Amino acid sequence: MYRLLFVTLGTLVMAGCGQPKLSATPSSLRGCGGATRPSSVSVSWSAYKATQGKPIRLWAHNPDAFGNDQVTLWMEQGPVGTASTGRWVVPGTRITLTDASGMRTLAEIRIGRLACKS
Would residue 68 count as lying in a domain? yes
Q: pTM of whole model > 0.95?
A: no
Q: Residue 12 falls within a domain, yes or no?
A: no
Instruction: Judge contact between 75 and 57, C-beta under 8 A.
Output: yes
Report if residue 60 sits inside a domain.
Answer: yes
Q: What whole-number distance in Å separates Cα of residue 18 and Cα of residue 60?
A: 24
Looking at the structure of the chain, the number of domains it has is 1
Domain annotation covers residue 3: no
Question: Nearest 10 degrees: CA dihedral of 82, 85, 89, 91?
Answer: 10
For 106, other C-beta atoms within 10 Å of its C-beta total: 20
Q: Is residue 4 part of a domain?
A: no
Each residue's pLDDT expressed in tens, for the chain with a length of 118 residues: 444 333 333 323 333 457 999 999 999 998 876 657 899 999 999 999 999 999 999 999 987 766 677 899 999 999 999 999 999 999 999 999 999 999 999 999 999 999 887 6
CATH code of the domain in which 83 resides: 2.60.40
Domain residues for 63? 20-28+38-112
Domain contains 13: no
CB-based contacts of 79, cutoff 8 Å, min separation 6: 45, 46, 47, 48, 50, 51, 53, 54, 55, 56
